[in-house]
């Protein structure tokens, strides 16, 4: 499909550990259009960060290894690129912002130097040009007195401000894709609202595509157009945001939505809890990885691992059972 | 969940906790103080859940710990069942502690890694000299069963459990002495979404079974709405608004509460599309040197001159609905 900006196919990542090989990402496929915002939702350890890091060849090897798959970005396979080649993509055409704004900066360099680095490396600017651009960028993300603040060090900024600086750094080279890996998880809600507001504004101004990784179904509801839900290294459901929340078709998605108390309702229904724990996969399962926790599981779920199937227009789910009726699809 | 009687179990009056900031190595002198909790008053009725919400650094955890006298308050009083805890020492204090327990945020840091689960849950019973060795073992087994763990786990160590299971161990320990009041300090913040629901359901079941009173400290406003009967909102060491759950969430009067509520994302794209957000500017000021007058005025969208001059009075605007704002 030529109109896709990013086209990931069959991506698999494994980690060698003393207990065996952990199958962290198990053959995910993903297409991202220009300017689209995609939410990737899942609990800790489900492989949502690892899949994005794999695509950018940021998985430390050993112990990690991308064992299969392709990731086409404007016609080129990122996974086949040399380290030198992919460095030109990372930070200039695809950039990433991280969860922890406290540890993602170098504490002994000024903010100005760190934001200027991608400009000098990727766009060949000299120091003077870069500094000018840094001040513009910091202005853009809402840091007041940017001219003075470029000489400050990371510890002189609050968490929310640091996250703004990180966004400025990620957007320095006007990337086509911004990957946001839980950028607001460490922040308070009022600061989180500021950051989401900022990203939305910049998205509309600059027209970049966003992949927003989060465990918070609330953030995705207001931000993304399309959502994928991940579990144990698999994509288990994919749909437009309204379809996913209005008509969830995988029991795990259903459980996640049911386990969230709603702030806008006064009902005090007992929360739906999903019993048990997410698995750590040491081999490719011959069964649905969610089956042990699933209340709808039938015999087939324990024998065969379902793949994503179209269940409604623009809606795919990997489940043998229709949770709305409780019968096999 | 609903209060079976309206007797007041805990009465907190003008509670203040300042942490001194010292300078100098040998000759130390105090050069300032962190105003962590700065005049907080509320009642908790027997059998109810009071939610205490606010952003990080607003003093909600310090308030919880000061109520239990884990920190000695700088000023103010804490009455538990009619007894003022502030002046209690030694044995008298220890006897009171049996009735008040705490569940901590981090299930990884709050359990001693060198003790077995059985020892952890049995320790309060040994300290308070409740029962013989055999009775304690039986009680530990009961407690494990009560929180949904296999009694056979009592010989295992904390690292063998997942986060959710560890939090259940923390709950069992808090229940060991059959307390009346449990202060839950962000008990679910460190857990994954699907596990959070398990722990919330457990806390609700236990409350019904034993008529427990909770002070539920959290920053997640959705969870607090779900679990609380009444909710207090803290900002920079003071409570800005307190009301029953429905009034607070549907008819918030303080501009901070309004902004806080509007900042919380709702997991429904149809609702999200229609929402209008009040985005607060800037960060929470430092509690070392809090703003004059109303603490919130530096970020308040409707602040006026009076807000900088006078500290707003804590007043009851509707029965049971308190707010500290000049303009509300």
Interface contact flag, B197 A217, Cβ < 8 Å:
no
Q: From A45, which residue of chain B is nearest by alpha-carbon distance?
A: B192
Is B147 in contact with B171 (CB distance < 8 Å)?
yes
Residue A197 parent element (H or E)? helix A189-206
The reported pLDDT for the residue numbered A210 is: 95
Tell me the shortest Cα–Cα distance from B263 to chain A, in angstroms: 5
CA A39-A44-A50 angle, to 5 degrees, is: 70
Q: What is the pLDDT of residues B72-81, one digit of tens each?
A: 999 999 999 9
Q: Which residues of A touch B235 (CB under 8 A)?
A: none
Q: From B164, which residue of chain A is nearest by alpha-carbon distance?
A: A277
Facing A256 at nearest CB: one of B193, B250, B284: B193
Burial of residue A158 (number of CB atoms within 10 Å: 0-12, 13-18, 19+): middle
Residue A324: pLDDT band with limits 50, 70, 90: confident
Q: For the domain that residue B265 is a member of, what is the CATH number? A: 3.40.50.300
Residue B171 lies inside a defined structural domain of this protein: no
Tell me the shortest Cα–Cα distance from A70 to chain B, in angstroms: 31
Number of residue pairs across A and B with CB atoms under 8 Å?
133
Residue A2: pLDDT band with limits 50, 70, 90: low
Helix runs in A232-272, H state only: 241-246, 251-258
Euclidean distance between CA atoms B234 and B160, whole angstroms: 37
Interface contact flag, B269 A191, Cβ < 8 Å:
no
Residue A152: pLDDT band with limits 50, 70, 90: very high
Q: What is the pLDDT of residues A85-107, one digit of tens each?
A: 998 899 889 999 988 777 889 99
Residue B154 lies inside a defined structural domain of this protein: no
DSSP state string for B190-214: TS-HHHHHHHHHHHHHHHHHHT-EE
pTM of the model: 0.87
Is A257 in contact with B267 (CB distance < 8 Å)?
yes
Q: Which residues of B touch A190 (CB under 8 A)?
A: 55, 259-260, 263, 279-280
Higher pLDDT: A176 or A3? It is A176
Q: Which residues of B touch A266 (CB under 8 A)?
A: 225, 245-246, 249-250
Measured in degrees and rounded to the nearest 5, phi and psi for residue A129 equal: -60, -45
Facing B193 at nearest CB: one of A245, A259, A264: A259
Euclidean distance between CA atoms B318 and B324, whole angstroms: 13
Residue B271 lies inside a defined structural domain of this protein: yes
B156 has a chain A CB within 8 A of its CB: no
Residue B274 lies inside a defined structural domain of this protein: yes
Is A182 in contact with A214 (CB distance < 8 Å)?
yes
Is B96 in contact with B80 (CB distance < 8 Å)?
yes
Interface contact flag, A189 B222, Cβ < 8 Å:
no
Q: Who's near B149: CB < 8 A, 6+ residues apart?
A: B117, B165, B168, B169, B172
CA A204 to chain centroid: 19
Residue A231: pLDDT over 60: yes
Residue B151 lies inside a defined structural domain of this protein: no
Is B190 in contact with B108 (CB distance < 8 Å)?
yes
Q: What is the pLDDT of residues B158-192, one digit of tens each?
A: 999 988 899 999 999 999 999 999 999 999 888 88
The reported pLDDT for the residue numbered B189 is: 86
Q: Who's near B317: CB < 8 A, 6+ residues apart?
A: B253, B323, B328
Facing A245 at nearest CB: one of B55, B263, B267: B267
Q: What is the pLDDT of residues A11-40, one digit of tens each?
A: 999 999 888 899 999 999 999 999 999 999
Interface contact flag, B219 A259, Cβ < 8 Å:
no
Per-residue tokens: A85: 């080649």
A299 has a chain B CB within 8 A of its CB: no
| Pairing relationship of beta strands A226-231 and A37-41 according to DSSP bridges | parallel
Q: Who's near B309: CB < 8 A, 6+ residues apart?
A: B292, B293
Please report how the helices B133-146 and B117-127 are oriented relative to each other, as an axis angle in degrees rounded to 10: 120
Residue B51 lies inside a defined structural domain of this protein: yes
DSSP E strands in B195-295: the ranges are: 213-218, 230-235, 238-244
Q: From A252, which residue of chain B is nearest by alpha-carbon distance?
A: B194
The reported pLDDT for the residue numbered B108 is: 84
Give the rounded percent of residues in chain A with a pLDDT score beyond 70. Answer: 99
A102 has a chain B CB within 8 A of its CB: no
B271 has a chain A CB within 8 A of its CB: yes
**Ranges of chain B with pLDDT below 70:** 1-6
Give the rounded percent of residues in chain A with a pLDDT score beyond 90. Answer: 51
Sign, CA dihedral A12-A17-A21-A24, equals negative
Residue A182: pLDDT over 80: yes
CA B59 to chain centroid: 10
Residue B123 lies inside a defined structural domain of this protein: no
Residue span of the structural domain in which B231 resides: 8-21+32-99+179-323
Interface contact flag, B198 A268, Cβ < 8 Å:
no
A277 has a chain B CB within 8 A of its CB: yes
Interface contact flag, A264 B266, Cβ < 8 Å:
yes
B263 has a chain A CB within 8 A of its CB: yes
The reported pLDDT for the residue numbered A328 is: 83
Q: From B148, which residue of chain A is nearest by alpha-carbon distance?
A: A275
Residue B214 lies inside a defined structural domain of this protein: yes
* Number of domains observed in the structure of chain B: 1
Interface contact flag, A260 B1, Cβ < 8 Å:
no
The reported pLDDT for the residue numbered B3 is: 42
Interface contact flag, A263 B249, Cβ < 8 Å:
yes
Q: In what order do the strands lie in the sheet with A64-73?
A: A20-33, A4-17, A64-73, A76-77
Facing B193 at nearest CB: one of A215, A221, A268: A215
């Amino acid at each position: 499909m030529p109109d896709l900006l990013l086209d990931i196919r069959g991506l698999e990542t494994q980690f060698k550990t003393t207990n065996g090989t952990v199958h962290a990402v198990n053959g995910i496929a993903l297409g991202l259009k220009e300017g689209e915002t995609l939410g990737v939702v899942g609990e800790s350890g489900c492989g949502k960060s690892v899949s994005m890091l794999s695509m950018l060849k940021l998985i430390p090897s050993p112990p990690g290894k991308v064992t299969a798959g392709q990731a086409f970005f404007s016609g080129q396979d990122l996974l086949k690129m040399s380290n030198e080649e992919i460095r030109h993509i990372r930070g200039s055409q695809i950039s990433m912002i991280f969860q922890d704004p406290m540890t993602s900066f170098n504490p002994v360099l000024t903010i100005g130097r760190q934001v200027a680095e991608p400009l000098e490396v990727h766009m060949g600017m000299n120091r003077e040009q870069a500094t000018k651009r840094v001040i513009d960028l910091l202005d853009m993300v809402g840091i007041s007195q940017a001219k003075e603040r470029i000489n400050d060090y990371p510890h002189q900024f609050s968490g929310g401000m640091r996250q703004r600086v990180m966004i400025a750094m990620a957007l320095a080279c006007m990337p086509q894709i911004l990957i946001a890996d839980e950028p607001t998880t460490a922040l308070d809600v009022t600061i989180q609202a500021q950051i989401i507001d900022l990203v939305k504004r910049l998205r509309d101004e600059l027209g970049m595509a966003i992949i927003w990784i989060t465990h918070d179904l609330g953030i995705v509801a207001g931000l993304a157009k399309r959502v994928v839900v991940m579990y144990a290294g698999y994509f288990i459901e994919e749909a437009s945001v309204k379809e996913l929340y209005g008509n969830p078709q995988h029991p795990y998605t259903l459980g996640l939505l049911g386990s969230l108390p709603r702030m806008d309702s006064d009902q005090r229904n007992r929360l739906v809890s999903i019993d048990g724990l997410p698995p750590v996969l040491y081999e490719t399962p011959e069964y649905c990885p969610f089956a042990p926790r699933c209340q709808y599981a039938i015999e087939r779920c324990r024998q065969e691992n379902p793949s994503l199937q179209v269940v409604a227009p623009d809606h795919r789910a990997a489940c043998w059972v229709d949770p709305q009726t409780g019968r096999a699809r | 969940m609903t209060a079976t009687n309206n007797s007041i179990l805990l009465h907190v009056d003008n509670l203040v906790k300042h942490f001194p900031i010292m300078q100098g190595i040998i000759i130390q002198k105090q050069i300032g103080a962190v105003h962590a909790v700065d005049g907080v008053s509320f009642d908790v009725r027997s059998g109810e859940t009071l939610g205490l919400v606010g952003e990080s650094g607003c003093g909600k955890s310090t308030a919880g710990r000061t109520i239990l006298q884990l920190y000695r308050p700088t000023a103010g009083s804490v009455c538990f069942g009619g007894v003022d805890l502030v002046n209690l020492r030694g044995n008298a204090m220890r006897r009171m502690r049996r009735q008040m327990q705490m569940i901590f945020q981090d299930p990884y840091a709050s359990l001693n890694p060198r003790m077995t689960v059985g020892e952890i849950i049995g320790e309060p019973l040994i300290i308070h000299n409740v029962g013989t060795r055999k009775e304690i073992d039986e009680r530990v087994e009961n407690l494990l069963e009560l929180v949904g763990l296999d009694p056979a786990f009592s010989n295992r160590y904390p690292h063998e459990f997942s986060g959710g299971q560890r939090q259940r161990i923390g709950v069992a320990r808090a229940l060991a002495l059959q307390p009346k009041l449990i202060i839950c300090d962000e008990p679910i913040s460190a857990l994954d979404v699907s596990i959070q629901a398990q722990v919330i359901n457990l806390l609700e079941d236990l409350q019904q079974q034993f008529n427990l009173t909770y002070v539920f400290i959290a920053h997640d406003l959705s969870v607090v709405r779900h679990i609380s009967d009444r909710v207090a909102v803290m900002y920079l060491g003071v409570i800005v608004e307190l009301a029953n759950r429905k009034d607070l969430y549907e008819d918030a009067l303080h501009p901070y509460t309004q902004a806080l509520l509007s900042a919380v994302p709702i997991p429904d794209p149809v609702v999200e599309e229609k929402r209008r957000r009040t985005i607060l500017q800037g960060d929470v000021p430092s509690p070392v040197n809090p703003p004059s007058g109303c603490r919130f005025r530096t970020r308040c969208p409707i602040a006026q001159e009076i807000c900088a001059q006078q500290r707003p009075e804590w007043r009851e605007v509707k029965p049971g609905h308190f707010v500290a704002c000049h303009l509300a």
